[in-house]
C-alpha cells in the first residue's frame, strides 16, 4: 500500500511540476511577443537612452579649446537653470521642481499652502531666503545650482510661495 501511495505522490508531483514549467514557458513566450523579442532597441529608445546618459560635466585639458567649450551651451552658460534671463517657471522646473514638485526628502511641495504657511509663520520670509541661499538640512545651497544669484533664489522662493497660495 505504501508503494502505491509513493507512486501516486510522485506522479502527482511530476504532473504539478510539469504544469508549472509549462506556465513558465508560456509567460516567457508572452513576454517576448509583447516586447518585440528581437533584442534590438528602437531608434526612439536609443535616442532617449543617449539623452539620459549624457555627462553632466566635461573636462577640458586642451587650453586652445577652453574658450570654445566655455562658450558652448552644454557648459552651463545657458538653459540649465543658471540663466538669469530664463523665466522663473523654467528656472523653477530645472532647479527646484525635482524636490519641491514631488516632496522628495521631506521638502514642502509647491502648491500645498499649509506646509509653506507654517514655515512662513514660524521662521519668516528672511529665514526661508537664507535656507534657500545657504542650504538647509537635505537641501543644497541654491538648490544645487551655485551660479544662481541670491536675488534670483529669493525670486524663486517668492514664486514657490505664490504658486502655493501663500
* Domain boundary assignment for the chain: 2-50, 79-163
What is the spatial distance between Cα 46 and Cα 61, in angstroms, rounded to a whole number?
30
Percent of the chain with pLDDT over 90: 23
Residue-level pLDDT at 70? 54
CATH number of 79-163: 1.10.760.10
C-alpha cell at 118: 507654517
Average pLDDT, the chain: 81
The CA radius of gyration of the chain, in Å to the nearest whole number, is: 28
Task: Tell me what the mean pLDDT of segment 104-130 comes to.
Answer: 88
What is the spatial distance between Cα 59 and Cα 166, in angstroms, rounded to a whole number?
43
Q: Is 143 exposed, middle or buried (0-12, 13-18, 19+ CB in 10 A)?
A: buried
pLDDT tens per residue, range 52-92: 888 776 676 776 666 555 555 444 444 444 556 678 888 88
Does residue 110 register a pLDDT over 80? yes
pLDDT tens per residue, range 8-43: 999 999 999 999 999 999 999 998 888 776 666 678
Amino acid at each position: 500500500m505504501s508503494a502505491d501511495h509513493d507512486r501516486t505522490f510522485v506522479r502527482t508531483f511530476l504532473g504539478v511540476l510539469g504544469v508549472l514549467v509549462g506556465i513558465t514557458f508560456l509567460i516567457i513566450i508572452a513576454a517576448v511577443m509583447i516586447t518585440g523579442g528581437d533584442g534590438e532597441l528602437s531608434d526612439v529608445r536609443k535616442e532617449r537612452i543617449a539623452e539620459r546618459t549624457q555627462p553632466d560635466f566635461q573636462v577640458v585639458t586642451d587650453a586652445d579649446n577652453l574658450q570654445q567649450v566655455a562658450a558652448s551651451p552644454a557648459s552651463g552658460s545657458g538653459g540649465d537653470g543658471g540663466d538669469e534671463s530664463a523665466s522663473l517657471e523654467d528656472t523653477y522646473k530645472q532647479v527646484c521642481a525635482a524636490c519641491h514638485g514631488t516632496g522628495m526628502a521631506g521638502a514642502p511641495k509647491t502648491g500645498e499652502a499649509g506646509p509653506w504657511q507654517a514655515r512662513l509663520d514660524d521662521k519668516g520670509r528672511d529665514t526661508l531666503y537664507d535656507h534657500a541661499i545657504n542650504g538647509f538640512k537635505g537641501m543644497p545651497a541654491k538648490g544645487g545650482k551655485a551660479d544662481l544669484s541670491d536675488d534670483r533664489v529669493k525670486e524663486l522662493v517668492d514664486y514657490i510661495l505664490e504658486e502655493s497660495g501663500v
